[in-house]
Amino acid sequence: MSEDLTIDDAATRWSHDERERMPLLVLLHGYGADEHDLFGLTRYLPEGIAVASVAGPLTPPWPMPGRSWYPIEGLDGRSPAAVTTAAEALLRWVDVAAAGAPSVALLGFSQGAAVALQAMRLAPERFGAVVALSGYSAAGELPNDESLTELRPHVFWGRGTHDDVIPPALVDHTAQWLPEHSDLTGRVYPGLTHSISEDELLDVRAFLTRWIENLPA
């Protein structure tokens, strides 16, 4: 794994001070946002879980504010290798910060969704569920991809019909890749742009509730 990127754990926002042995949901923001961006979603999520909202390890080009997970401009923009590097940094953070959690799920938006799916591909046994909102699965092959066809990890993929941020080719790729490599719950929301709707959050809550209910007692 690349050691180039490091997640600043001091920037992580936690929903619970006493979080040991609780199922953990990790929130991954989009480009130009930060660890505060998705934290407001906690009120829409199931009870009985801890939530950690992490800050991406990069800063976008000035004057864009916030943080990012990988470049989306220049020769390396949206490259699968860059997404993998970010996912490896996330896995290193999870190994330490979530060592006591009985199960870990990921919820990512846009860039964060791509990183969440890539982390699942790198270490499918590490995650109980993945929620990918307005994002995509990176192109190319990874060593564990073939095993995913048998493991069928639980994935929720939500997107809007009016999302003009994610390139259509990546949406088409994800629409073919996810059904082949996961137990997919897919939803397309009419009129939704590159954002998250309340209808989508209701579906996410139901999906994550099933994740919790299926955990060993």
Q: Indicate which residues carry an active-site annotation.
A: 110, 163, 194
Comparing CA positions, the residue from 8, 6, 41, 16 lying closest to residue 27 is 41
How far apart, in whole angstroms, are the C-alpha atoms of residue 26 and residue 12? 10
CA angle 49, 51, 53 (to 5 degrees): 170
Sign of the torsion formed by the C-alpha atoms of 206, 208, 214 and 216: negative
Bridge partner list, 76? none
